[in-house]
Amino acid sequence: METYRIAGYFKNKCILITGSTGFLAKIFVEKILRAQPDVKKLFLLVRASDATSAKQRVQNEVIGKELFTVLEEKHGRGFHSFIEAKVFPVAGDIVRENLGIEDSILTELWKDIDFVVNVAATTSFNERYDVAMNVNVLGAKNVLEFAKRCAKAKMLLHVSTAYVAGEREGLIPEKPFSMGETLNGNSHLDIQEEINFVQERKKELQANKPTERIEKITMKELGMKRARHFGWPNTYVFTKAMGEMLLGHLRGDLPLVIIRPTIITSIYKDPLPGWMEKTRTIDSFIIGYAKGKLTCSLGNPKLTMDVIPGDMVVNAMIVAMAAYLNNQSEIIYHVSSSMRNPVAFSILQLCVYQYFSKHPRTGKNGKTIKTRKVPMFRNLASFRTYMVLRYKLPLEVLHLLDLILCRSLSHRCNELRQMYNFIVRLAELYAPYTFFKGCFEDINSRRLWMAMMKDNTEEIPLLDFDLKSIDWEDYFNNIHIPGVLKHLCN
């Protein structure tokens, strides 16, 4: 890394950002604009029917968010003119050729763009297989092909997930996938055959004219089945792994940086501590506690919960882009906490209990919600037993009572049965992460930080991603839990 400022790398540069209405991409856009106000243009690709709709989406879902308050205060009355000069919404979709961008502006983009940052993804663990394949696999390929057509493209930065590692135990290296690699070693993964398979299966399904619900369920089940066949726990990480394989295989001499974050949480420091959008893995636990509806939790208190604040992920992305500028190969960065500053599930459990003991919530009836410690089950078997004894057996009793009362309780029975099935399925879906026994190697990320410490100390406050600096108890009690309550709880 050169000894001049990292932000200098982005002066007079044009960056195309996909997935720009998502949580991580918003933080990236805000940070680039604040760290380097002389960036030339940020092209934000959004799904929209036309340029006007794209502009409206960016205003409502990106620039208009509270996240941009600090930037707005910095520019004062000139904020809107600054945004107009720097931010250019582009209507398109990564699942389409040339990203679905109108021909009239394609030539300009291919001529001007210096960096392509792909943050677009569908992150639902049990997404429809056809949807996940289109976005996470073919979408990644389309972004790469677009980047290769950009005359000045210096690199493609692709955001993946550390959990492409599946359910591996022990130390997990920052290593690219080989084309066709599987996690169980039982078979070879031919991605094109897999693409053809899901398309054919969908055609066969639609030929029978299923209801929308049946089609959705079938395609979700297909994704989980194929993922587990090749050794991955769910459709999301399976398709993200395939996306990585295609990028590494087809990139040619285009520099490729793959960022693999772990569980992303709220902003730690900059620009707005605690800011977040959408409920994430650990937040369901916090929200359940807040509403007094959490009766149990799943996880081993002694195991490491690998979390990483969103601003630190973005800072690592920006520094990696600057550091890897003159390379022509592929590099993986694990942005994780399990190596340098691990935090156990027991810490989160303790912090949540302490927080709501000090700040009790009030229910809709105006009464204080009593804060209780909830049991944490260390394996799925004990959780299933608890669910049967606590909920399924009483549900069967209610079903018998319903028969005696001439089906007068049928609606309530069906409602409770659906809720029971949903909770059990959700627990099984998240089990690979609540019982995860891997530890993510971060040699490349550490080298990145050490270079930053040596050559760019003046930028550390703005681009900090030193995980060792986080006091997790302080973060949960004073930043993350209040952030969840403010931004996610009604």
Question: What residues are annotated to the active site?
Answer: 236, 240
Answer yes or no: are the C-beta atoms of 476 and 353 closer than 8 Å.
no
Answer yes or no: are the C-beta atoms of 19 and 136 closer than 8 Å.
no
Assigned token pair, 47: 């799904």
Checking 329-332 for CB contacts under 8 A at 24+ apart, the result is: 329/255, 329/256, 330/176, 330/247, 330/248, 330/251, 330/255, 330/256, 330/257, 330/258, 331/174, 331/256, 331/257, 331/258, 331/444, 332/174, 332/175, 332/176, 332/258, 332/260, 332/444
Q: What are phi and psi of 305, to 5 degrees?
A: -105, 105
Tell me the residue type at 294: L
Assigned token pair, 443: 């040699």
Answer yes or no: are the C-beta atoms of 46 and 287 closer than 8 Å.
no
Helix (H, G, I), strand (E, B) or coil at 354: helix
What length does the chain have?
Answer: 490
311/67 Cα distance (integer angstroms): 11
464/449 Cα distance (integer angstroms): 9
Tell me the residue type at 244: E
Cα 110 from chain centroid (whole Å) = 28
301/217 Cα distance (integer angstroms): 33
Q: What is the DSSP string of 219-247?
A: HHHHHHHHHHHHT-SSHHHHHHHHHHHHH
